[in-house]
Chains A and B, each alone.
Chain A
Amino acid sequence: MNSSRGAVAYGDAYGDAYGDAYGDAYGAPALVGGASGGSLSARLAEAGVERRSFLKFCAGVVATLALPPQFAPQVANALERVDRPVVVWLEFQDCAGDSEAFLRSRNPSVADLLLGMISLDYHETLMAAAGTAAEKARDDAVARGGHIVVVEGSVPTGIPGSCTIGGRSARDILTSCVRGAAGIINVGTCSAFGGIPAAGPNPTGAVRVSDVVGGVPIVNLTGCPVNADNLTATIVHFLTFGGFPALDGFDRPLFAYGERIHDTCARRGHFDAGQFAEQWGDAGHRKGWCLYRMGCKGPSTFHNCPSVRYNEATSWPIAAGHGCVGCSEPGFWDTMSPFYDRLPHVATRDFNLTADRIGLGVLAATATGFAAHGVGKVVQHRVAAAREARDGDDADKADKAEDVSDAAPVPEAGEEGGQAI
Chain B
Amino acid sequence: MTASVPAGAAPDAGAVPPPGPGPVPPAHEQETFVRVRVWDLPVRVVHWLLVLSLIVLSVTGYLIGNPELHPGGRLAWVTWDRTVHKVTAYVFITLILARVGWHVASPNRWSRWTEWIPASRARRAQIVPSLRFYLFIDREAPPVAGHNPLAGMTYVVLYAMFAVEIFTGLVLWGVEGTGWAAWLTGWVLHAVSLPTIRFVHHLIMWLTWGFMIHHLYSAMLVDRVEGTGVISSIFSGFKFLPKDRL
Contacts and interface: CB of A to CB of B under 8 A. Distances in A.
B199 A363 contact: no
Contact of A421 (B187, B189, B224): B224
B213 A330 contact: no
A415 B196 contact: no
A208 interface: no
A367 B193 contact: no
A373 interface: yes
B193 A335 contact: yes
Contacts of B221: 373-374, 377, 420-421
A237 interface: no
Interface residues of B, number: 46
Interface string B169-196: 0000001110000000011011001111
A270 B69 CA distance: 13
Interface in A264-310: 270-276, 292-293, 297, 299-300, 302
A300 B194 contact: yes
B73 A275 contact: yes
A338 to B, nearest CB: 10
Contact of B224 (A329, A413, A420): A420
Contact of A363 (B14, B74, B139, B209): B209
Contacts of A415: 14
B105 interface: no
Contact of A380 (B136, B175, B187): B136
A359 B206 contact: yes
A343 B176 contact: no
B220 A421 contact: yes
B4 interface: no
B207 interface: yes
Interface stretch (B75-83, B156-164, B233-241): B75-83
Nearest to A250: B190
B147 interface: no
B193 A331 contact: yes
A272 B190 CA distance: 29
Given A249-B189, A300-B195, A413-B11, A293 B67 contact: yes
B217 interface: yes
A381 B139 contact: yes
A136 B46 CA distance: 74
Interface in A316-375: 326, 329-331, 335-336, 342-344, 355-356, 358-360, 362-363, 366-367, 370, 373-374
Interface string B65-103: 111011101111111000000000000000000000000
Contacts of B194: 299-300, 329, 335
A263 B177 CA distance: 9
B69 A359 contact: no
A409 interface: yes
B206 A358 contact: yes
Given A300-B193, A359-B205, A367 B10 contact: no
A419 B225 CA distance: 10
A273 B65 contact: no
A270 B74 CA distance: 10
A384 B213 CA distance: 27
Contacts of B139: 380-381, 384
Contacts of B210: 359, 362-363, 366
Contacts of A373: 134, 217, 221
B214 interface: yes
Nearest to A368: B213
Contact of B77 (A250, A273, A356, A363): A273
A407 to B, nearest CB: 12
A220 to B, nearest CB: 13
Given A300-B195, A344-B196, A374-B217, A273 B10 contact: no
A171 interface: no
A420 B193 contact: no
A263 B207 contact: no
B217 A362 contact: no
A290 to B, nearest CB: 9
Given A249-B189, A273-B78, A356-B66, A367 B203 contact: no
B213 A273 contact: no
B213 A292 contact: no
A391 interface: no
Contacts of A394: none
A366 B213 contact: yes
A377 B141 CA distance: 12
B203 A358 contact: yes
A335 B205 contact: no
A419 B224 contact: yes
A224 to B, nearest CB: 16
A372 to B, nearest CB: 11
Contact of B14 (A275, A292, A344, A412): A412
B219 to A, nearest CB: 11
Given A335-B194, A360-B206, 5 more contacts: A249-B186, A249-B190, A273-B74, A363-B209, A421-B224
27 contacts: A249-B186, A249-B190, A260-B176, A272-B76, A273-B73, A273-B77, A274-B69, A274-B71, A293-B66, A299-B175, A330-B190, A330-B193, A331-B193, A343-B195, A344-B195, A355-B202, A358-B206, A359-B202, A359-B203, A359-B205, A363-B210, A363-B213, A366-B210, A370-B214, A374-B221, A409-B11, A420-B221
The 3 closest A-B pairs by CB, nearest first: A359-B206, A335-B193, A300-B194
